[in-house]
Amino acid sequence: MNLREIAERAGVSIATVSRFQKDRESVSLESRKKIEEVLQALGYSPGNRKSRKKTQKTIAFLIPDVENPFFSSLVKNVELFLSRMGYFLLLCNAWGNVNLESRYLRLLEKHPIDGVLLVPSGRKDGELVHVLQSFSLPFLALDRRIEGLSLPLITCDNEEGMAMATRHLLRMGRKRIAFVTGKRETSTSAERLQGYRRALEEEGLAFQDELVIEGDFSFQSGFEAGKRILAMSEKVDAILAANDFMALGVMDCLKRSGVKIPEDISVVGYDDVWLGRIYEPSLTTVRQPILEMCELAVNTLLRFIQEGKSTPFERVFKPELIVRESSLVSVERGGGF
């Protein structure tokens, strides 16, 4: 249906419909309601800048890094649940760039999609907050928080998960435990670092800044962190990493340097990605209930789409410690090298 036909049905001018299509706020409330009633009767729902069909059966999923196996697992499971509901997935990869992330969101508003799932690249990005505050599509955040913004969020208890991992190493007799963070600007990295710190202090051990090495969630950053840890004047007997990908990089570095895992140094990761299960030795980690998180995310977003808006809420799932070979060492052996 063209602009003339819409104008005739709504009893307004073609120019008014044209203005509505470009910026509906520029049209009087009375005319806007008339046009919206016509569009809704035709199966269309007015968007922020252009009218879009009521449903396109397409959801966009904006993630920070498609190469990270944790995010790949999220994508796989989200697509699984969407396909069961007859929806398609449009994948957007921001490469951890908050500016690109904001550009993606502005672009998605102009395209025929029904809603957006996103894993934010940062937690303090003012531009992203500004974009989401006026975002016209139903959306839901998965895994990471954004400071300064109340939003629909499904995540896991990252602080407690890393505290569990730290307590496990302490029970194994480890005392000097290094920690490899992810990008400090992400909520997951900050929360996991806090869990590590809390568990140490609960056991009467001092938190030491020199034992904290910053990575970026990549395998290579884990490898480089391993080299820095091995160069420390006082040796460590365990290493925690804020995700499995970095933990595997750490283990690769240790093995190439002749360090025995876990006899000399124990290693624990976070996320329970499939690579950690087949690595030698297999990786002790913290599992997030990805399947349940993705199912709830899809069902909630589809409900938001049906209702025509997103509603702020927060659901925090409980993590689970998965003990494997990389940390199982006899307490009597001590550690370090």
Say if CB 138 and CB 309 are below 8 A apart.
Answer: yes
Report pLDDT for 111.
84
Report pLDDT for 51.
42
Report pLDDT for 283.
98
Rounded-to-integer distance, Cα 73 and Cα 135, Å: 27
Give the β-pairing of 152-156 and 115-118: unpaired
- With 0-12 / 13-18 / 19 or more C-beta atoms within 10 angstroms meaning exposed / middle / buried, residue 90 is middle
What tens digit of pLDDT does each residue of 130-177 get?
778 778 899 999 999 888 788 899 999 999 999 999 999 999 999 999
Helices within the chain (DSSP H only) = 3-10, 14-22, 29-41, 69-84, 98-109, 126-133, 158-171, 187-202, 219-230, 244-256, 274-278, 290-307
Report pLDDT for 298.
97
Cross-strand bridge partners of residue 268: 240, 284
pTM: 0.79
How confident is the prediction along the chain (337 residues), in pLDDT tens digits per residue?
567 778 888 899 988 888 887 666 677 888 888 888 888 776 655 444 344 445 789 999 999 999 999 999 999 999 999 999 999 999 999 888 878 888 888 888 888 899 999 998 876 656 677 778 778 899 999 999 888 788 899 999 999 999 999 999 999 999 999 999 998 889 999 999 999 999 999 999 999 999 999 999 999 999 999 999 999 999 999 999 999 999 999 999 999 999 999 999 999 999 999 999 999 999 999 999 999 999 999 999 999 999 988 999 999 999 999 999 999 976 444 455 5
Domain ranges of the chain: 3-53, 58-156+289-319, 158-288+322-333
Report pLDDT for 15.
86
Within this chain, domains 58-156+289-319 and 158-288+322-333 share the same CATH topology: yes
Its CATH class, for the domain covering 158-288+322-333, is alpha beta
CATH topology of domain 3-53: 434 Repressor (Amino-terminal Domain) (1.10.260)
Report pLDDT for 24.
66
3-state secondary structure of 153: strand
CATH topology of domain 58-156+289-319: Rossmann fold (3.40.50)
